[in-house]
Amino acid sequence: MFSLLIWCVYGLFVGSIAKAIVPGEERMGFFQTVAIGVAGSYAGGAVLYLLGSYDSISPSGILMGIAGGVLSLVVYNKLTNQS
């Protein structure tokens, strides 16, 4: 249960940074921001895992999580026809 709370906080952190990086206005609530952040963190972590160096707390893990969050947000905006 505690790890779920950690993922939500991490997802909120990554999702908020991704929303700040991507231009435009996103009309998302709290849960959508967390979902985008968690999806991005998962995608970034998967890339690092495939490269052979995965540690979610390291700077590379945080940066890849943010990059994945930005990518997730761009895909979400394209799918929902937002600019």
| Longest pairwise C-alpha distance within the chain | 36
pLDDT at 83: 52
pLDDT > 80? residue 74: yes
Domain boundaries along the sequence of the chain: 9-19+31-77
Contact 70, 18 (CB under 8 A): yes
pLDDT tens digits, 25-73? 777 888 888 888 888 888 887 888 888 776 656 777 788 888 888 988 8
Average of pLDDT values for 12-30?
82
pLDDT > 70? residue 82: no
Would you call 55 helix, strand, or coil by DSSP?
Answer: coil
pTM more than 0.75: yes
pLDDT at 54: 64
